Every structure is written in structure tokens, then in C-alpha cells.
Amino acid sequence: MTYLEEDSERGIQLFMAEYAVNREEALRLIVRDWLGSHGYLALTEDESELGKDTAIDETATLGGA
């Protein structure tokens, strides 16, 4: 299991609750979304819609980086 900073873990817990997914799926979705939004991979149309219906703090970073 990957352990992250407390604030990142809280964010993951909130994401899991909002999207009704387990931790593994949440991390997969979060990483894929971040990689796609930063030009590291092409997202499918469905994946690129992730988070558009909810307010997401775009200033937040993964792992405090």
C-alpha cells in the first residue's frame, strides 16, 4: 500500500466517497487524470470528463509536490 501525507490521504478519502470507488481505483483515476491533464497521455472523452461536474481545487497538488 502506498502511504501519502495526511492531507493527500484526506483528499483521497473524499474522492473515494464522491465517486464511490475503492482506494486502488481512486488512485488509478487520480493519476490518470493528472497525467492526461498535464499532457503525459491522451485521455478518452469519458476520462477527460472526470471532475467537471464537481468543484475541484485546481491549485491542489498530488502528494504535496
pLDDT, tens digit (0-9, with 9 covering 90-100), for 22-58: 999 999 999 999 999 999 987 666 666 666 655 445 4
Q: Are 62 and 34 in contact (CB under 8 A)?
A: yes
Q: Are 12 and 30 in contact (CB under 8 A)?
A: yes
Of residues 65 and 36, more confidence is placed in: 36
Residue 1 lies in a domain: yes
Residue 28 has a CB neighbour count (10 Å cut-off) of: 12
The total domain count for the chain is: 1
pTM of the model: 0.62
Q: Are 62 and 30 in contact (CB under 8 A)?
A: yes
Residue 14 lies in a domain: yes
Q: What pLDDT was estimated at residue 42? A: 76
Residue 5 lies in a domain: yes
Residue 60 lies in a domain: no
Residue 40 lies in a domain: yes
Read off the pLDDT of residues 4-25 as tens digits, 9 standing for 90 and up: 999 999 999 999 999 999 999 9
Instruction: Give the residue numbers spanning the domain of 7.
Output: 1-48
